[in-house]
Structure 1
Amino acid sequence: MKLTVLTADERIVSLDVEPDELVENLKAILEVETQVPLVQQQLLFNGKEVQNTMRLNAAGVGEDDLLMLVSAPTPSSAGGPAPSDLAFNPDGSAVNPIALQRHLRGDPNVMSQLQQNNPELAQAILSDDTEVLQMLLRRQHQHRVELQRRQQQELDLMNADPFDVDAQRKIEEAIRQKNVDENWEAAIEYNPEAFARVIMLYVDMEVNGVPLKAFVDSGAQSTIISKTCAERCGLLRLMDRRYVGIAKGVGQSEIVGRIHVAPLKIGTNFYPCSFTVLDQPDLEFIFGLDMLRKHQCSIDMKDNVLRVGGGEIAVPFLQERDLPIHLHDDKRLEEFPPATELSQTEAKVQRLVELGFDRKTVIQALTLFNGNEEQAASYLFGGF
């Protein structure tokens, strides 16, 4: 596993050792790298000295962890920071964050490596807000602890009895979840548009001289108008009540009649249109497949317009800001479950980003807590 050791003279030593390596052997390697005699070395991890007879994994040291190498206190070292000032608390925060900041800022090489490998930590060290530094140190420590926990769980599963059905089921689920997580991370990186909210297609139209926001839906077999909307447009007097029935789709609604023809204005042109009238107050007007075909319409996503009459008229699709609140997708989707868990995750990401955290950190926090938004928020605010 890879370790980083920060020395008292502000050097960074990168090492690759076995997880069960003796601390004494690690110090022997450091003696060669730093010229500090083994007997004068104090190796600190999370604010505590690790003893020579301990093994690294038994001391809690894991992949990519940071250790502090300091010399035993001597009278000549009184001019520099005490080893305890550069130590860490059990929660990962610095015992003396101001001393740690000064110590790290004093070495351009250290700061250069941090800016390359851990830019968020480097920025916190350069800032004057020690609370931000402490929160980040705790957060990264918690992430390391959780990573070690997961690695230990995976190790336990791999060492389990191969004939234990429950153990094999857990291994299968762990592999499946890992594949899902990798697929999700790849989608976040390479196809972020898949997580964006899709605004439905609306255009401005006029029915019998009354302006409406028409929902263009090629999946609707008929053009539909609600009874209340038809009344507002002055068309109820033309409704043929012989055409009653039930409209079935995602749900079902009562058909109360049909309006055989009425003027529909799209852009600057007028077109004859027929409507199925539904007794559904939350629906206003759907421009369906029957009229899309009749008037030779095409949905042009490249130019974001609805073309009518073979292209003689082109009207733009409306932006979300142009729609009344009751037509926003958030309100429409309240009636139906989300299509995938990914849409739920993206909603959580957006809510946490709005609290002031960067997107990458939010995704890491949600991944760390298996999508639990409250725990991720507490973690981001330094509550752990």
Structure 2
Amino acid sequence: MPVSTLREAIQAETAIAPTSQHLYHNGRLIQDDTKTMEQLQIADGEMLALHVRDMQGSTGVPDQGRRGPPRRRPGGQDPELIRLQILGDPNLRAEATRQQPQLAAALDDPQRFAQLFNDSYDREQREREERQRQIAQLNDDPFDIEAQAKIEEMIRQERVMENLQNAMEHNPEVFGRVHMLYVDVEVNGHRVKALVDSGAQATIMSPSCAEACGIMRLVDKRFAGVARGVGTANIIGRVHSAQIKVGSMFLPCSFTVMEGKQVELLLGLDMLKRYQASIDLAKDKLIIQGEEVPFLGEAEIPKESEEALEEEPRLPGPAGTTIGQRSGVVSGPQSAATASPRQNPPQQAQQAQQASQQQAAAPNFPEEHINQLMALGFPRDAAINALQATGGNVEFAAGLLFGA
């Protein structure tokens, strides 16, 4: 049966003119009426979507009791057409669920979807017009230096948000969380999950790990000192040689015992270069002297290093999403964001609560750590917030402040 015959059958049943019928198969518009169902690869039992447009051209004024979805606004996109395209493409639906969960939840309700789509469009339009109005007001005096500086900052912020939106649309993978590389090793018979870090100069072990491995008695305290980088950390000493098992190989290795690290053991460049190790990301393995050692999966990674990322400060992103300041990870809208405004406490109460939490949390961090961050030029409140976000790690806190 050709498509033209199908359109005539639809007209006989619904009184919708063929010119107003837009038929979709798997999200694709059927435009050639001369082709048959077989030629279009439409099998029995498959679903076709009918989108009705320009109803006035065939049936006059639509029935007030049967209101269709809102028509496309001038210069805008048709909400119903977008909804049908998303329904017909699993990839688009998955992306909508990830980036626009409210719209994705309303895909089966044309009226609700169109309302949410138009509300979002109106909100963006109002924000755009407000920015243009502010720029126009500032342009009233072109010789005002402060006004020109504000215009420059507004334009810069607009370009930043545009760049962010383009990145989320075309390169969403850059906002995914990249997990660190860990391998299972044994030090003096004690199993440890070691972080592989080719950017670290030396192999580092925490004091608690050195105690558990039974090599704390071998620490040479003549090598004690202070490690300086983004932050500072105390070096207790150095274990000149201990046996480490990587894969099936037993290798001698030296360890720098250092405080203030959230990882128990970090395999640095000294060991990786000594044994000519290779980090093969394609195979997801550490190749050392010809032996391939698989990296640990996400579920096997120590949770201590992930907790700092979970508590990191977040920035607002498009469509109600939030973006981590340090990791760049995008999260969907929180459930609290969908609650009614009357359920939210007043802003002053929230600020007072946050201030009380900061005051209560301040004694948990050594004053020395707070002073170290303040010496870098940051206020005390910012230093305390950074320490809270990083679990008390001074190095991570300093990196967070510098990257903010």
Question: Structure 1 residues 334, 248: closer, same or farther in 2, change over 3 A?
Answer: farther
Question: Structure 1 residues 292, 170: closer, same or farther in 2, change over 3 A?
Answer: same
Shift of 1:378: 6.5
**For 1:4-43, what aligned pairs fall within 5 Å after superposition?**
none
Among residues 197, 207, 225, which one is paired with 1:217 in the alignment? 197
CA RMSD of aligned residues (A): 4.5
Question: What is aligned with 1:197?
Answer: 177
Question: What is aligned with 1:272?
Answer: 252
Shift of 1:78: 11
Question: What is aligned with 1:260?
Answer: 240
CA contact (8 A) 1:242 1:257 kept: yes
Q: Distance in 1 between matches of 2:130 and 2:311?
A: 38
Among residues 122, 131, 134, which one is paired with 1:150 in the alignment? 131
Q: Distance in 1 between matches of 2:180 and 2:106?
A: 46
**For 1:176-195, what aligned pairs fall within 5 Å after superposition?**
176-195=156-175
1:322 aligns with 2:300: yes
Q: Distance in 2 between matches of 1:316 and 1:193?
A: 23
Question: Structure 1 residues 236, 200: closer, same or farther in 2, change over 3 A?
Answer: same
Question: Structure 1 residues 346, 120: closer, same or farther in 2, change over 3 A?
Answer: farther
**For 1:1-384, what aligned pairs fall within 5 Å after superposition?**
80-81=63-64, 99=65, 102-104=66-68, 114-116=79-81, 127=108, 138-158=119-139, 160-280=140-260, 282-309=262-289, 312-328=290-306, 330-331=307-308, 343-344=324-325, 349-352=330-333, 355=335
> 1:172 corresponds to which letter in structure 2?
E
Mean Cα deviation higher: 277-286 or 124-133: 124-133
Question: Structure 1 residues 252, 334: closer, same or farther in 2, change over 3 A?
Answer: farther
Question: Structure 1 residues 127, 211: closer, same or farther in 2, change over 3 A?
Answer: closer
SS at match of 1:177: helix
Shift of 1:350: 0.9
SS at match of 1:290: helix
Q: Distance in 2 between matches of 1:347 and 1:211?
A: 32
Shift of 1:202: 1.1
CA contact (8 A) 1:226 1:278 kept: yes
Shift of 1:229: 0.6
Q: Distance in 2 between matches of 1:222 and 1:331?
A: 23
Shift of 1:106: 12
CA contact (8 A) 1:258 1:277 kept: yes
CA contact (8 A) 1:226 1:283 kept: yes
> 2:126 corresponds to which letter in structure 1?
V
SS at match of 1:169: helix
Question: Structure 1 residues 271, 192: closer, same or farther in 2, change over 3 A?
Answer: same
SS at match of 2:183: strand
Q: Distance in 1 between matches of 2:305 and 2:236?
A: 23
- Deviations along 1:39-90, one digit per CA (max 9) or x if unpaired, are xxxxxxxxxxxxxxxxxxxxxxxxxxxxxxx9xxxxxx99942xxxxxxxxx
CA contact (8 A) 1:227 1:280 kept: no
> TM-score, length-normalised on structure 2?
0.53
Question: Structure 1 residues 323, 79: closer, same or farther in 2, change over 3 A?
Answer: closer
- Deviations along 1:299-330, one digit per CA (max 9) or x if unpaired, are 11222211112xx11112222211232132x4
> TM-score, length-normalised on structure 1?
0.56
Alignment coverage as a number of residue pairs: 263
Q: Distance in 2 between matches of 1:126 and 1:215?
A: 44
> 2:177 corresponds to which letter in structure 1?
R
Question: Structure 1 residues 335, 227: closer, same or farther in 2, change over 3 A?
Answer: farther
CA contact (8 A) 1:304 1:316 kept: yes
Q: Percent identity, aligned pairs only?
A: 39
Mean Cα deviation higher: 116-125 or 315-324: 116-125
SS at match of 1:303: coil
Question: Structure 1 residues 105, 196: closer, same or farther in 2, change over 3 A?
Answer: closer
SS at match of 2:331: helix
Q: Distance in 2 between matches of 1:248 and 1:254?
A: 9
Structure number with bigger Rg: 1
CA contact (8 A) 2:286 2:292 kept: yes
SS at match of 1:149: helix
CA contact (8 A) 2:313 2:324 kept: no
Shift of 1:258: 1.6
Question: Structure 1 residues 263, 147: closer, same or farther in 2, change over 3 A?
Answer: same
Shift of 1:243: 2.0
Consecutive unaligned residues of structure 1, counting only runs of 5 or more, are 1-8, 13-69, 71-76, 82-98, 356-372
> 2:68 corresponds to which letter in structure 1?
L
> 2:243 corresponds to which letter in structure 1?
P
CA contact (8 A) 1:227 1:281 kept: no
SS at match of 1:103: coil
